[in-house]
Amino acid sequence: MNNNGYAGVGVRNLITAARKAGLNSTFSYKLLMNYGKRRSVVETYKVAKGVYLIDVEMWTRRYGSVYVVEGEAVTLVESGLSTSAGKILEGLAQLGFHRDDVRHIVVSHVHLDHAGGAGVLAKELPNAKVVVHKVGAPHLIDPSRLLRSASKALGQMRDAYGLEKVVPVAAERVVPVDDGDVIDVGSHRLKVIYAPGHASHHICLYDERSNGIFTGDAVGVYYPDAGILKPTTPPPEFDMDVAIESIGRLRELKASALFFSHFGMTRDVERMLDMGIEEIRRWGALIQEALSAGENIKRIAARLVDEFKEDLPFAPEWLSEQLAPVMVAGYVQYFERKGMLER
């Protein structure tokens, strides 16, 4: 996978131009969506033997990955947003896969940037079953509660997540799984690893053939151009201790590759897993200290945005501005549940 250079330079130029014109983040987001609609070529990469990545251009390029695992039962790992289906179908065709050959759509958890497109894709892939942890399965069959929760948690990001286009998956096409279950692709066997922390129903997949782990959001958001990752800690279920335990469990697999849903593949496995734990702890200490000093969520989020600007100058600024308050809120709710906030 070629990580030289950042593919989103055009996006950055658009947003910069919008800001210079005095336009807000919402307008910048609309510009970004229009930019994506003009693109007709989907970027795909071979990341391991029999494993391919489709860049679904989730809000920007090189942020949302959907993986294709080749075999007798072609398998998609993740379904992206409800608006990602077109990119995924185009990517499948570009890679030479027929829609009828796709037998599984596995989602790491039911958050809408991972499972929002499951129902839309299921309609286009007639032989595919949707695989999800048993606790998440009811939310794919009836997403109404999930959508209400997401709408409340996402705030201004609601439209960007495509809530209005999410459709249910027929119950007979949903396959609930649990820790230790195996998805047989043919040439690949994907073992389900229960990995809560980001969400209580989160799973990762261990691919024996590539000795790789499909991480979902369990480890963090990986930025291949910088070689770093950042935590992803949304409410209402983020649990710092459990998240760290899950990363520790992934470390025991001695994998040689990590396939991130955000974004791409790395073989720098040990360093990334260590960084995942260190960054979760660092953010936790920073946020808890700031809360104890009387800072509000808005001010703490601004500090995280400044960190993103320094560490990831190529990344769209509007994205960190919108996501940072959500991540802080995840820690706040965690601290409240644990009784760790001074009153």
Mean pLDDT, residues 301-311 taken together: 96
With vertex at residue 339, the alpha carbon angle to CA 335 and CA 343, rounded to the nearest 5 degrees, is 95
pLDDT of residue 40: 55
Q: 135 pLDDT exceeds 70?
A: yes
Mean pLDDT, residues 267-293 taken together: 98
297 to each of 151, 197, 270, 294, 338, how far by Cα in Å? 19, 21, 32, 10, 18
pLDDT of residue 7: 32
Listing from the earlier edge strand, what are the strands of the sheet with 174-177? 44-48, 51-55, 65-69, 74-77, 102-106, 129-133, 174-177
Task: State the Cα–Cα distance between residues 282 and 279, nearest whole angstrom.
Answer: 5
Question: 204, 184, 201, 198: which is closest to 249 by C-alpha?
Answer: 204
191 to each of 77, 179, 231, how far by Cα in Å? 12, 8, 24
Mean pLDDT, residues 233-262 taken together: 97
Question: 161, 165, 155, 116: which is closest to 139 by C-alpha?
Answer: 116
pLDDT of residue 343: 59
Asked if residue 245 lies in contact with residue 251, where contact means CB atoms within 8 angstroms, the answer is: no
pLDDT of residue 9: 30
| Paired residues of 266 in beta bridges | 258
The interaxial angle of helices 240-251 and 269-292, nearest 10 deg, is 170
pLDDT of residue 31: 40
Task: State the Cα–Cα distance between residues 18 and 12, nearest whole angstrom.
Answer: 10
What CATH number should be reported for the domain whose range is 9-338?
A: 3.60.15.10
Mean pLDDT, residues 159-185 taken together: 96
Mean pLDDT, residues 117-123 taken together: 98
Mean pLDDT, residues 8-24 taken together: 38
pLDDT of residue 87: 97
Among residues of the chain, what percentage have pLDDT more than 70? 88
pLDDT of residue 341: 86
Q: Provide the whole-model pTM.
A: 0.88
pLDDT of residue 311: 96
Q: Where are the domains of the chain?
A: 9-338
Tell me which of 31 and 196 has the higher pLDDT: 196
End-to-end CA separation in angstroms for the chain? 50
pLDDT of residue 318: 87
**Residue 168 DSSP class:** P
The H helix count followed by the E strand count for the chain is 11, 15
H or E segment to which residue 21 belongs: none
**Which stretches of the chain are DSSP H helices?**
9-20, 25-38, 85-95, 112-115, 118-124, 137-141, 144-154, 240-251, 269-292, 297-311, 317-338
Mean pLDDT, residues 146-170 taken together: 87
* pLDDT tier, 157 (very low <50, low <70, confident <90, very high otherwise): confident
pLDDT tens per residue, range 31-87: 444 444 445 589 999 999 999 999 999 999 999 999 999 999 999 999 999 999 999
